[in-house]
Structure 1
């Protein structure tokens, strides 16, 4: 069996037992013990599919019930295998497949306006009650910031907003643009805590409706507005621009348009802060499972792909921070919350969807722990002297904001 040969060559750390469709058992890695992950495969073709295209077939087999965990979870199985594959995460025979994916990379990331809108709705216009099940009370769907190991998810998401606000160096009355505003939590925080006016734009009709409602309920509709708009169509200029978790949907073919747009929309003395997932191992491709089922058109960039475009746009990169394991911890919180709410998620969709979502969260967490994914925050200006020349002001501003923040208001759950 090809899969047996591959696993025998790969799995040296950890303990894994595989039961094939005929009931035969194979063991890999360290001797079997109470923590051994036990996987049963159903369907005669399942082992072949997984061996030939693991990045798609493992997730599909789990979704369809053809890969069943008899001991441990899908996270345990993925971590056992991924820890043994190294940072590139490739099996020896996959060089040709990897080459083909790189050839198709441009097409997979081609996101003209119509495609970008359709692809965003694929993920973000799901039933809003799904996100209520696992996100924090402010419905932040991006990497949180964990100052200490015992920080709760709610505290970490608040700390993320505070961390970003400090880097923007805001002053009351400034006009702020948020590209990709989600459900509005960051925009509302900036307006309420920092006294600024915010325009949040999104391509998700579901998120737009909820964000708009939240601003009205908080009495901030006069200072925070939300629009369905592509950043390429927006006019005007802003004192500050912030974008959190949106850049992953841009695609390499559109990086020039994105940063030229930031330059065009930013005032001469303005500051922009781009918060995005990144990959530390250099340019790559989006795993086929994620591309097919979760984020069509999405791509996690390497900084080596981003920085040349920033340089050509005429923007100064005044600060870059790499958040390494913060997203792994965020995803762990999301995964555990989702599993605790499984029955409710199943009433919204079905068992297959729930397994797909669990796989997405588990695979993402493993990727941040073992496959070189991280988050970067790039601070940009047009002029060299716009900001202080040391980073002390960031910490001072975070401390100040922590002292004036209003008590958190629970997010009004989707009806």
Structure 2
């Protein structure tokens, strides 16, 4: 079946035909839908109740209803920003499927563009890309402000959907059948193996979150850990839970910017923090890692990246979720590693692991949606739903991935082969030679 647009005739009281929107703006928007949606089915209900179908009907399906005609021209002008805003504000509602289903239909059809391409999209994206450095001028003060925007939300919100260790980063699904808790434990186990941690080591965790990885390292290896964060909420939770678990003697946390660190460490790990560093600070970040790493030390960077060429940050994500954030292509990162004098000793790409992680988070959030609404409000819940669903879709269709960089100052600091990563793991018995 060819792509088509269909306006269903709808009767009221078996007589009056319901009006369908024939405005120029809606027809322009319809032409975008008709050109973009070739597989699956997107049903659009206009402000007058007219029903319009796009696609061949085979595969994924979703339906949206417009409640304001102003939403037409806003979507035409900047769909990357306004689709999320329209969903948050109730200007559109999902009448079939979910917001995740809607994004699946869209991005399966236009994965390389990351969404609909309108007459203004290419120009806006080009401007955003050229100007992408300016929102990422993350001074220590700006970094604290950006971190607070997202991570100083109520801890009760994150409790609704994270695992028991509050790991707010990509899990590792070794078999694909793990629970979220099992997959997050797999991730921490993999990080510990790549770091080759010994009981006598002192480990630095840059961007420690709520302290789950730091506590895991201390429990499983006997090493000392110092974690740093810019979030007061995270610091309070991390310190309280560490004290409750009796690990305060081996695990310490600081409210500290990575640029202000002192001392040297046997091991350095950073998980889910590099996305907030900003392009213009990449060299400072890697120079800091090298300066704080002992001569025979090992560092491990876990970060979201792109498997495509560099692109600007999605405007909706930048405005509502992660101000100052950026997902880099490897071509933007590795030159700074080289200039720092660090040696890249291992690189691993995790592809669909984060999509599965986000799917679990989205499922749990929806199961506890009423609790989230009691903490904030309905608009916030729709914003969070869109954030989780759009992030999941970006890992499935739009080139997002996670990379692990193992870094050293001495190429002899790690084994010659990767066999040590696949040896049987016994808690408390890590001893690499």
- Cross-structure match for 2:411: 384
- Cross-structure match for 1:27: 53
Of 253, 264, 270, which aligns to 2:291?
264
Cα 1:223–1:92 shift into 2, 3 Å: same
Alpha-carbon offset, residue 52 of structure 1: 1.4
1:50-89 map, 5 Å: 50-89=75-114
CA distance in 1, matches of 2:61, 2:191: 42
Question: Is contact 2:39-2:57 (8 Å) kept?
Answer: no
- Cross-structure match for 1:115: 142
CA distance in 2, matches of 1:343, 1:384: 52
Q: Deviations over 1:229-274 (max 9, x none)?
A: 0010011000000000000000101000000000000000000000
Question: Is contact 2:297-2:413 (8 Å) kept?
Answer: yes
- Cross-structure match for 1:368: 395
CA distance in 2, matches of 1:88, 1:246: 26
Q: Deviations over 1:347-367 (max 9, x none)?
A: 000000000000000000000
Answer 1 or 2: higher relative contact order, Cα 8 Å, separation at least 6.
Answer: 1
1:6 aligns with 2:32: yes
Question: Is contact 2:77-2:118 (8 Å) kept?
Answer: no
Question: Is contact 1:16-1:32 (8 Å) kept?
Answer: no
- Cross-structure match for 1:283: 310
1:243 aligns with 2:270: yes
Question: Is contact 1:87-1:281 (8 Å) kept?
Answer: no
Of 44, 55, 61, which aligns to 1:18?
44
Alpha-carbon offset, residue 311 of structure 1: 0.2
Question: Is contact 2:39-2:58 (8 Å) kept?
Answer: no
- Cross-structure match for 2:333: 306
Any idea what SS the aligned residue of 1:141 has? coil
- Cross-structure match for 1:37: 62
Cα 1:78–1:191 shift into 2, 3 Å: same
Cα 1:215–1:400 shift into 2, 3 Å: same
- Cross-structure match for 2:163: 136
Q: CA RMSD in A?
A: 1.3
TM-score w.r.t. structure 1 length?
0.95
Alpha-carbon offset, residue 87 of structure 1: 2.2
Alpha-carbon offset, residue 89 of structure 1: 2.2
- Cross-structure match for 2:14: none
Alpha-carbon offset, residue 92 of structure 1: 5.7
CA distance in 1, matches of 2:77, 2:429: 56
Question: Is contact 1:162-1:401 (8 Å) kept?
Answer: no
Any idea what SS the aligned residue of 1:377 has? strand
- Cross-structure match for 1:409: none
1:158 aligns with 2:180: no
CA distance in 1, matches of 2:213, 2:107: 34
Alpha-carbon offset, residue 149 of structure 1: 2.0
After superposing the two structures, state which structure 1 stretch, 15-24 or 61-70, moved more: 15-24
Question: Is contact 2:220-2:427 (8 Å) kept?
Answer: no
Q: Deviations over 1:169-206 (max 9, x none)?
A: 01111010000000000000001101100000000000
CA distance in 2, matches of 1:178, 1:36: 43
Cα 1:17–1:32 shift into 2, 3 Å: farther
After superposing the two structures, state which structure 1 stretch, 234-243 or 80-89, moved more: 80-89
Any idea what SS the aligned residue of 1:317 has? strand
Any idea what SS the aligned residue of 1:199 has? strand
CA distance in 2, matches of 1:402, 1:27: 55
Alpha-carbon offset, residue 97 of structure 1: 1.2
Q: Deviations over 1:370-405 (max 9, x none)?
A: 001000000000011111110001212xx2245869
Any idea what SS the aligned residue of 2:162 has? coil
